């Protein structure tokens, strides 16, 4: 059933429904989404129940009226990178193509709680990139100029102002803080809530979300996809959309083509919870670390990718040591805090550090991949543009530059070199 504006009172979240359920001993809540079984045929099948797959399903239903859709997830929704990331949202990119797309995504984030009727705990607490040497300061100047020219908010501050605004920063780190680039609209959101909010909103529009269903092969006739094979049976469909992050090369190989992607483990960790000490997100490329504080009080700490190909979703000691050293240099008073958890996700890095959202060499098979270390912030924007691509069989103007063809034409968008963002 297609529900344009779902207002099912057992499922619509509001102050009134909270109050009502409070008096009702919380017995009236419906499950947030159905546990659907796979059907024999769909108009479109999305592989991967992370943020990207679920957002795509939501926008396909909401914007394009396609509701005979399934999202097939081999594990549980949000169990991939969407539930493993450090939740930083920003649009501080260098090239106009990236800036236009990521700022569009950030704008969607700004209205997402209301749009999904689900609290995604979006907190625009600002995002700092700090520099510790003259070269780094030059890079920040260049980045601020590019951002302002691209219509994205950006402020440049000297080291004293950075220290004034983040008093807990060390007075004398090994590398002095010489400047900071602040994007005030940057911040964080709750990662699980993105998966759950999109799942719930897509389900309310009739999308089947099928968990524990692994895609193991494709049916391809005369160069066009006609269905997928899964651990829960074969499914017929003329449109198949990949949204499987680090597993993209594996799926592409099953469909008979190769992609310029390398999969790496990216790690993160959280400390024990403490009272509020850090009200912003801070990244130091020189130290190879970034840090924020969650609403629970844990310090959420990430670092760069471990630069060898891997599918192992687990952390390791060398990266932890390097990360801890960077954090303690910047914030000496965190030196006696304990780590609570450490983990990894498998990120898919394209050779030019820019994603692919578009067509594949197989007709009816679409690609959303290559987000590397930065695809959480892209979820609403990419979901929207990918839905457009699938429904209309042509790229959305915002993601048209992110096509696979750029590796033939040479129109690469090298954000690693441009923004210094280590994907
Ligand atoms: C430690 C870490 C920190 C990060 N920090 C940030 C950050 O701060 N900000 C940011 O913007 N980005 C960040 N990222 C990147 C971001 O998490 C990802 O780019 C984004 O979550 C990708 O979402 P997705 O939906 O494409 O992939 P995923 O969430 O990984 O979902 C893909 C799903 O596909 C499923 N799947 C795979 N193969 C199959 C199959 N054959 N059949 C069925 N299902 C299959 C998987 O089980 C998985 O659930 C980080 C990533 C990591 C690992």
Domain boundaries, the chain: 38-118+191-260+352-418, 127-185+262-350
- pLDDT, average across residues 65-89: 97
Residue 9 has pLDDT above 80, yes or no: no
Residue 24, Cβ neighbours under 10 Å: how many? 11
Lowest mean pLDDT of 131-135, 163-167, 340-344, 416-420, name the range: 416-420
Residue 423 alpha carbon to ligand 1 centre in Å = 14
- How much is the average pLDDT of 410-420? 87
- The pTM score is 0.97
Q: Which CATH number fits domain 127-185+262-350: 2.30.40.10, 3.10.129.10, 3.30.9.10, 2.30.110.10?
A: 3.30.9.10
Quick: pLDDT tens for 331-341: 999 999 999 99
Average pLDDT over residues 321-340: 95
Three-class HEC string of 374-399? CCCCCHHHHHHHHHHHHHHCCCCCCC
If DSSP codes are grouped into helix, strand and coil, which group holds residue 313? Answer: coil
The kind and range of the H/E element at 98 are helix 96-110
CATH of 38-118+191-260+352-418, one of 3.50.50.60, 3.40.720.10, 3.40.50.300, 3.30.2010.10: 3.50.50.60
Q: Which helix (H) or strand (E) holds 341?
A: strand 339-350
- CA 322 distance to own-chain centroid: 24
Q: How far is the CA of 19 from the centre of ligand 1 (A)?
A: 36
82 Cα: distance to centroid of ligand 1 (angstroms): 5
Task: Kindly indicate the confidence band of residue 1, based on its pLDDT and cuts at 50, 70 and 90.
Answer: very low
Instruction: Tell the residue nearest (CA) to atom 50 of ligand 1.
Output: 85
User: Is 59's pLDDT higher than 70?
Assistant: yes
Cβ contact 346:247 at 8 Å: yes
Which tens digit of pLDDT belongs to each residue from 177-216? 999 999 999 999 999 999 999 999 999 999 999 999 999 9
The pLDDT confidence band at residue 107, using thresholds 50, 70 and 90, is: very high
Asked if 413 and 97 count as a contact pair (C-beta separation under 8 A), the reply is yes
Segment 108-124 shows an average pLDDT of 98
Residue 417 has a pLDDT of 80
- Residue 243 alpha carbon to ligand 1 centre in Å: 9
Query: From ligand 1's centre to the CA of 88, what distance in Å?
Result: 14
How far apart are the CA of 53 and the centre of ligand 1, in A? 10
What is the pLDDT, as a whole number, of residue 354? 96
Atom of ligand 1 nearest to the CA of 268: 1
Average pLDDT on 70-95 reads: 97
pLDDT at 4 over 60: no
Q: At residue 3, does pLDDT exceed 70?
A: no
Which token pair is 129?
A: 């990139």
Q: Which residue of 70, 74, 76, 81 sits with most ligand 1 atoms within 8 Å of its CB, as the best mutation to test the pocket?
A: 81
Helix, strand, or coil (residue 411): coil
- From residue 394, give the alpha-carbon distance in Å to each of 385, 386, 391: 10, 9, 8
Q: How far is CA 290 from CA 111, 129, 195, 286, 301, in A?
A: 26, 9, 23, 10, 6
Alpha helical stretches, state H, 231-354 = 248-255, 317-330
Which residue's alpha carbon is nearest to atom 49 within ligand 1? 80
Using the mean position of ligand 1's atoms as its centre, give its distance from the Cα of residue 203 in Å: 20
Give residue-wise pLDDT tens across range 270-279: 999 999 999 9
Which atom of ligand 1 approaches the CA of 214 most closely? 42
pLDDT band at 307 (very low <50, low <70, confident <90, very high): confident
Angle at 220 between CA 216 and CA 225, to 5 degrees: 90
Does position 11 have pLDDT exceeding 90, yes or no?
no
pLDDT of residue 419: 75
Predicted pLDDT of residue 10: 59
pLDDT at 130: 97
Atom of ligand 1 nearest to the CA of 377: 11
Instruction: Using alpha carbons, list the distances in angstroms from residue 108 to 102, 113, 114, 182, 220.
Output: 10, 10, 10, 20, 35
The chain-wide mean pLDDT, for the chain, equals 95
pLDDT digits (tens, 9 = 90+) for 231-267: 999 999 999 999 999 999 999 999 999 999 999 999 9
Looking at residue 36, its pLDDT comes to: 97
- 421 pLDDT band, cuts 50/70/90, is low
Q: What residues flank ligand 1, with Cβ below 6 Å?
A: 47-53, 72-75, 79-82, 84-88, 214-215, 243-245, 247, 251, 266-268, 302, 345, 347, 371, 373-377
Instruction: For residue 196, give the H/E element and its range.
Output: helix 191-204
Tens of pLDDT, residues 18-42: 999 999 999 988 899 999 999 999 9
CA 245 to ligand 1 center in whole angstroms: 5
Tell whether the model's pLDDT for residue 286 goes beyond 60: yes
Strands 281-284 and 289-293, how do they pair?
antiparallel
Q: What mean pLDDT comes out for the span 220-238?
A: 98
184 C-alpha vs ligand 1 centroid, how far in Å? 25
Which one, of 359, 358, 369, 323, lies nearest residue 342 by Cα? 323
> Best mutation site among 46, 50, 105, 315 for ligand 1, i.e. most ligand atoms within 8 A of its Cβ?
50
Long-range contacts: 333-341, Cβ < 8 Å, 24+? 333/168, 334/271, 334/299, 337/271, 337/272, 337/274, 337/299, 338/271, 338/272, 339/269, 339/270, 339/271, 339/272, 340/269, 340/270, 340/271, 340/272, 340/298, 341/269, 341/270
């Amino acid at each position: 059933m297609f529900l344009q504006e779902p207002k099912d009172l057992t499922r619509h979240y509001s102050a009134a429904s909270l109050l009502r359920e409070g008096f009702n001993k919380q017995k009236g809540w419906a499950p947030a989404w159905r546990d659907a079984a796979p059907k024999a045929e769909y108009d479109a099948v999305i592989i991967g129940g992370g943020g990207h797959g679920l957002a795509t399903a939501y926008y396909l239903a909401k914007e394009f009226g396609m509701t005979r859709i399934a999202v097939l997830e081999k594990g549980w929704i949000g169990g991939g990178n969407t539930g493993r990331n450090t939740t930083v949202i920003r649009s501080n990119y260098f090239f106009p193509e990236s800036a236009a797309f990521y700022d569009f995504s950030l704008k969607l984030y700004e209205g997402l709680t209301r749009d999904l009727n689900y609290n995604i705990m979006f907190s625009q607490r600002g995002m700092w990139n700090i520099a510790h040497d003259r070269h780094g300061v030059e890079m920040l100047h260049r980045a601020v100029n590019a951002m302002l020219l691209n219509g994205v908010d950006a402020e440049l501050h000297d080291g004293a102002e950075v220290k004034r605004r983040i008093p807990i920063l060390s007075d004398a780190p090994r590398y002095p803080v010489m400047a900071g680039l602040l994007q005030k609209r940057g911040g964080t959101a709750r990662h699980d809530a993105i998966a759950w909010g999109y799942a719930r909103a897509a389900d309310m529009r009739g999308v089947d979300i099928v968990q524990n269903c692994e895609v193991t092969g494709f049916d391809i006739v005369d160069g066009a996809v006609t269905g997928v094979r899964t651990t829960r049976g074969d499914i017929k469909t003329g449109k198949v959309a990949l949204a499987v992050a680090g597993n993209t090369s594996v799926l592409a190989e099953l469909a008979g083509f190769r992609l310029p992607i390398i999969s790496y483990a990216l790690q993160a960790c959280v400390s024990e919870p403490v009272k509020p000490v850090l009200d912003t997100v801070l990244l130091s490329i020189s130290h190879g670390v970034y840090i924020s504080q969650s609403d629970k009080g844990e310090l959420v700490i990430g670092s760069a990718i471990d630069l060898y190909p891997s599918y192992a979703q687990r952390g390791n000691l060398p990266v932890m040591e390097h990360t801890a050293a960077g954090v303690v240099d910047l914030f000496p008073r965190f030196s006696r805090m304990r780590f609570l958890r450490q983990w990894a996700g498998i990120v898919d890095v394209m050779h030019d550090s820019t994603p692919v959202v578009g067509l594949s060499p197989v007709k009816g098979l679409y690609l959303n991949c290559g987000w590397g270390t930065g695809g959480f912030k892209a979820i609403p924007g990419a979901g929207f543009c990918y839905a457009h691509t699938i429904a209309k069989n042509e790229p959305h103007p915002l993601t048209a530059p992110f096509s696979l063809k750029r590796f033939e034409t040479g129109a690469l968008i090298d954000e690693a070199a441009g923004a210094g963002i280590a994907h």
